[in-house]
């Protein structure tokens, strides 16, 4: 399909017109492409290798992120993830499969180190999209996943350190702090966010994606972020591409970031521009003063990632950072486009 007819098709799809051209034959890509957050260099490499072996993009994405879920040194995902305020690790993940249009997700899942694999099972073995908490755990156990203690000694020590100071730095907020007097709250009380998102496009143009996380460190038990919410931390549309996010999940939920990135690409934006539009949307929607720094900027990081069906990729964030990508040139880190030049935490 020419660039022009592709753009017209995507525009009509984006407008909801549902006018599919008689024949859509995406050009075969030179190589599958995978994009991820900066903790995903090995993950994108494995995802591309799996797609080269014929794996579906969503399965390749889950295989990639599993490396990070199993890594006890990454304290933002899977085993060794930082726990909630009661010292319990609760994991969130979702997957989406472009060719079938199906998705699966788990939220606040305890004791199972590979929530993305459980999300795949939800997608393939239920009529539902999202299972949470105890129900998600029972479902995982029914499918043969093994329960284990996900709190490593290193993460437990960080939790104990936080707990000893918790009287002043938990996630409970008074209505007053959410108003005029809340200014500067976020800088003082912010906690680490991590997460891995991985978007994948196969050489035939099919797409799939995945996001997995232990969520915000020391969160209130039961809190789920953007990562298990399709349309927020992860989304894909096989006619367009994939979009996802890492960083402050609350900002991504409130801006529906993942779906917004995909819609922007459907309207003809490049992945990088689509991600930057999502970043600007977060800025526009962040109004509460406790979340702003003394220059009036969001006092947190959010990053977006996108790949379109043609294999173009891009990433943008509020603050300077990097992302991982793998294509025919191999796996590497690249600078993302940032709204502000400085780095944050
Ligand atoms: N973006 C991950 C989280 O906020 O849970």
Phi first, then psi, for residue 156 (nearest 5°) are -65, -40
Highest mean pLDDT among 123-137, 182-196, 285-299 belongs to 123-137
The predicted model scores a pTM of: 0.90
Model confidence band, residue 23 (pLDDT cutoffs 50, 70, 90): very low
Q: Which residue has the higher pLDDT, 325 or 23?
A: 325
Query: Is the Cα dihedral 54, 59, 61, 67 positive or negative?
Result: negative
Alpha helices (H) along 77-165:
115-125, 133-142, 153-164
Average pLDDT, the chain: 90
Q: Would you say the CB of residue 193 lies under 6 angstroms from ligand 1?
A: yes
Look at residue 195 and tell me if it is in a domain.
Answer: yes
Look at residue 169 and tell me if it is in a domain.
Answer: no
How far is 298 from 287, CA to CA, in rounded Å? 9
Whole-number pLDDT of residue 174? 75
How far is 87 from 151, CA to CA, in rounded Å? 8
Whole-number pLDDT of residue 175? 78
Q: Which domain holds residue 140?
A: 27-164+186-338
Model confidence band, residue 186 (pLDDT cutoffs 50, 70, 90): low
Look at residue 321 and tell me if it is in a domain.
Answer: yes
Whether the per-residue pLDDT at 4 is higher than 80: the answer is no
Q: Would you say the CB of residue 84 lies under 6 angstroms from ligand 1?
A: no
**Do the beta carbons of residue 121 and residue 131 sit within 8 Å?**
no
Which stretch of 140-144, 189-193, 311-315 has the lowest confidence by average pLDDT?
A: 189-193
- Please count the other Cβ atoms lying within 10 Å of the Cβ belonging to residue 92: 32
Look at residue 305 and tell me if it is in a domain.
Answer: yes
How many Å lie between the centroid of ligand 1 and the Cα of residue 199? Answer: 17
**What is the domain count for the chain?**
1
How many Å lie between the centroid of ligand 1 and the Cα of residue 316? Answer: 16
Query: What does the pLDDT look like over 42-76, one tens digit per residue?
Result: 999 999 999 999 999 999 999 999 999 999 999 99
Look at residue 174 and tell me if it is in a domain.
Answer: no
Q: Cβ neighbours of residue 219 under 8 Å, at least 6 residues apart?
A: 84, 85, 90, 171, 191, 225
Nearest residue (CA) to ligand 1, atom 5: 215
Of the residues 216, 222, 250, 253, which should be mutated to test ligand 1's pocket, given the most ligand atoms within 8 Å of the CB? 216
Q: What is the CATH number of the domain that holds 237?
A: 3.60.20.30
Look at residue 345 and tell me if it is in a domain.
Answer: no
Whole-number pLDDT of residue 194? 72
How many Å lie between the centroid of ligand 1 and the Cα of residue 76? Answer: 9
């Amino acid at each position: 399909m020419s660039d022009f007819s592709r753009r017209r098709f995507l525009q009509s799809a984006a407008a909801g017109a549902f006018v599919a051209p008689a024949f859509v034959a995406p050009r075969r890509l030179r190589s599958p492409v995978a994009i991820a957050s900066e903790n995903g260099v090995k993950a994108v490499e494995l995802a591309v290798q799996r797609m080269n072996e014929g794996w579906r993009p969503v399965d390749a994405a889950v295989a990639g992120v599993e490396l990070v879920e199993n890594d006890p040194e990454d304290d933002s995902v899977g085993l060794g993830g930082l726990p909630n305020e009661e010292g319990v690790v609760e994991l969130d993940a979702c997957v989406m499969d472009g060719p079938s249009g199906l998705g699966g997700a788990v939220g606040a899942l305890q004791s199972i180190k590979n929530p993305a694999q459980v999300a795949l099972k939800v997608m393939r073995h239920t009529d539902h999209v999202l299972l949470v908490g105890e129900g998600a755990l029972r479902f995982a156990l029914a499918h043969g996943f093994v329960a284990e203690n996900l709190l490593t000694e290193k993460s437990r020590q960080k939790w104990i350190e936080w707990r000893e100071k918790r009287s002043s730095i938990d996630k409970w907020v008074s209505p007053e702090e959410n108003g005029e007097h809340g200014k500067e709250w976020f800088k003082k009380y912010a906690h680490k966010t991590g997460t891995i998102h991985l978007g994948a496009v196969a050489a035939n143009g099919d797409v799939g994606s995945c996001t997995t996380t232990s969520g915000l460190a020391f969160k209130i038990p039961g809190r789920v972020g953007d990562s298990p919410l399709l349309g927020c931390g992860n989304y894909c549309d096989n006619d367009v591409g994939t979009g996802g996010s890492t960083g402050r999940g609350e900002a991504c939920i409130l801006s529906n970031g993942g779906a917004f990135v995909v819609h922007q690409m459907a309207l003809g934006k490049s992945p990088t521009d689509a991600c930057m539009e999502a970043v600007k949307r977060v800025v526009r929607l962040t109004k509460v003063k406790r979340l702003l720094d003394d220059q009036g900027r969001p006092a947190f990081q959010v990053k977006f990632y996108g790949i379109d069906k043609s294999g173009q990729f891009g990433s943008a964030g509020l603050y300077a950072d990097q992302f991982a990508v793998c294509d025919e040139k191999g796996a590497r880190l690249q600078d993302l486009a940032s709204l502000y030049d400085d780095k944050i935490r």
